[in-house]
Amino acid sequence: MISFLLTLTALAQPVIQPPLVITLDDVVKKVSTENYTVYANALRVYQAREAVHVARMNLLPSLKLWSLAGTTIDIVVGTATGNPAAVASGTLGIIEDIAPFLVPANWFRVKQAKKFYVADQEGYRALWANELMSAKALYYHLLLDRSLLQHVEKSEQELSSILTIVKMRELLGGVPQGVSREIEVRKLSLQEDQRALQVLIADEASVLATMMALPSGTNIVPADIEFPSVETYAGRPSQDLELKVLQAAPELAQFNALIDASNSVRKEVKYAFLGTSSVSRGVAGGVFDSLPTQQGLGFGTGSSVRIVKAQKEILKTQRLGVEETLKRQLRTLQGKFALDLKNYESIQRREELTQATMNQLYERMRFGQSVETLELIEASRNHIQAETAFLGLKFRFLENENKLSRMLFSDDYSKPPVVIQ
């Protein structure tokens, strides 16, 4: 019975998996090939590519027995009764079934399918790049928060040592009563910061593991990275970046493809009196599916053409909005780079000065000299803030560099994402 209970207890214990050390290259590879959102959109691109083949194959003759029989009867009856309209209708039905390549609207649909495929490809590239940028930024945040946690733990240990010394001096009358309480309050505050950072790090690691499509419960640990020298950022040319960003943007290329597709849609509506298309616009045809197409030659054809033109203007306006957004984001990013470069030396110097102040106060404590409690607490707070600011600055360089690479589609973003064969 006891062994049975021990077995149940053992089974109830959660299985603790060893930590999985990951690198930035692992993040890039996993997100590019196994991320759920990226993979689902890769399948949509695959559907769009297959839709082009379907559109082409639909131009070949098809045999619809019941439809063929009905149109043949219409021709025979129309010939016998001298009804030319019935003969024309039956003949047109045979052309649409037996020779769909003779219907102009079918060719326009094929052109649309090609453009929709291009639009889906560019949209997929944009989504993949956004997912990868978010994952890399999360990796940097994990490293930053881990560094902050190590610094807080070190500061808490130092305060613990100081607290022990102060308590002994209170007993001996070397310092006023109540000084240890002030230090203990600061120590408890640091312990609360530790717990908050531990929860935050676990949260970030869980989100990153999900983005990498790792099994639930995987304990990932990011490997350290080397910080590039500040001269790397200071020496970067800033000219012509706007033109490069606009040329590389898949969002703009996606709108260009849709605008090109609208030309084929307009021609399809215009020549609908020669027969409507039986070819699907494909998986990306939602932009134009609601546009009216006249069956044959009707009085609404002109209005339908104008509606298509209006849709094209909508796409052009949306494209212009995206272009201006990209320009604004680039200017904002350049402003952040310039600000951090100007502040780099002063923040670094502030971190050095606060560290020197802390070292001086510790030396005075060791040699038994009088140290004001408020002075010690304030020096500790200043040092933590200065080191936090310096760490944040260095990681901000990496994050902004990541954003710029995303906009230019350079470095990790120059590699093609997964393609479904």
Name the band, by pLDDT with cuts 50, 70 and 90, for residue 82.
low
Residue 293 has pLDDT above 80, yes or no: no
Name the band, by pLDDT with cuts 50, 70 and 90, for residue 65.
very low
For residue 420, give the nearest of 40, 101, 131, 145 by alpha carbon.
40
Share of the chain above pLDDT 70, in %: 70
Q: Stretch 183-202: mean pLDDT, rounded?
A: 90
**End-to-end Cα spacing for the chain:** 58
Count of CB atoms situated within 10 Å of the CB of 171: 11
Vertex 326, ends 43 and 312: CA angle to 5°?
Answer: 65
Q: Are 378 and 384 in contact (CB under 8 A)?
A: no
Residue 310 has which token pair? 């209006």
Whole-number Å distance between alpha carbons of 143 and 395: 9
Q: Are 145 and 201 in contact (CB under 8 A)?
A: yes
Name the band, by pLDDT with cuts 50, 70 and 90, for residue 77.
very low
**Residue recorded with tokens 């020669």:** 274
Whole-number Å distance between alpha carbons of 273 and 211: 51
Q: Which one has a higher pLDDT value, 62 or 413?
A: 413
Whole-number Å distance between alpha carbons of 344 and 121: 41
Residue 341 has pLDDT above 80, yes or no: yes
Residue 283 has which token pair? 């998986």
Q: Are 125 and 257 in contact (CB under 8 A)?
A: no
Name the band, by pLDDT with cuts 50, 70 and 90, for residue 279.
low
Share of the chain above pLDDT 90, in %: 34
- Looking at residue 319, what is its pLDDT? 94
Q: Are 80 and 306 in contact (CB under 8 A)?
A: no
Q: Which one has a higher pLDDT value, 96 or 175?
A: 175
pLDDT in tens, 207-264: 999 999 998 888 999 999 888 877 777 666 666 889 999 999 999 999 998 888 888 7
Name the band, by pLDDT with cuts 50, 70 and 90, for residue 9.
low
Residue 122 has which token pair? 């560019």
Q: Stretch 348-374: mean pLDDT, rounded?
A: 83
In the chain, the amino acid numbered 258 is L
Residue 56 has pLDDT above 90, yes or no: no
CA-to-CA dists, residue 379 to 150, 151, 197, 365, angstroms: 18, 15, 22, 14
Whole-number Å distance between alpha carbons of 408 and 328: 14
- For the chain, the average pLDDT equals 78
Lowest mean pLDDT among 90-104, 268-282, 309-323: 90-104
Name the band, by pLDDT with cuts 50, 70 and 90, for residue 282.
low
Name the band, by pLDDT with cuts 50, 70 and 90, for residue 13.
low
Name the band, by pLDDT with cuts 50, 70 and 90, for residue 346.
very high
Q: Are 323 and 246 in contact (CB under 8 A)?
A: yes
pLDDT in tens, 327-336: 999 999 999 9
All structural domains of the chain = 18-61+99-414 (1.20.1600.10)
The strand pairing partners of 221, in sequence order, are 21
Whole-number Å distance between alpha carbons of 392 and 161: 28
Name the most confidently modeled range: 1-5, 72-76, 372-376: 372-376
Name the band, by pLDDT with cuts 50, 70 and 90, for residue 49.
confident
Q: Stretch 55-84: mean pLDDT, rounded?
A: 50
Name the band, by pLDDT with cuts 50, 70 and 90, for residue 76.
very low
Three-state secondary structure readout of the chain: CHHHHHHHHHHHCCCCCCCEEECHHHHHHHHHHHCHHHHHHHHHHHHHHHHHHHHHHCCCCCCCHHHHHHHHHHHHHHHHHCCHHHHHHHHHHHHHHHCHHHCHHHHHHHHHHHHHHHHHHHHHHHHHHHHHHHHHHHHHHHHHHHHHHHHHHHHHHHHHHHHHHHHHHHHHCCCCCCHHHHHHHHHHHHHHHHHHHHHHHHHHHHHHHHHCCCCCCCCEEECCCCCCCHHHHHCCCCCCHHHHHHHHCHHHHHHHHHHHHHHHHHHHHHCHHHCCCCCCCCCCHHHCCCCCCCCCCCCCHHHHHHHHHHHHHHHHHHHHHHHHHHHHHHHHHHHHHHHHHHHHHHHHHHHHHHHHHHHHHHHHHHCCCCCCHHHHHHHHHHHHHHHHHHHHHHHHHHHHHHHHHHHHCCHHHHCCCCCCC
- Looking at residue 194, what is its pLDDT? 92
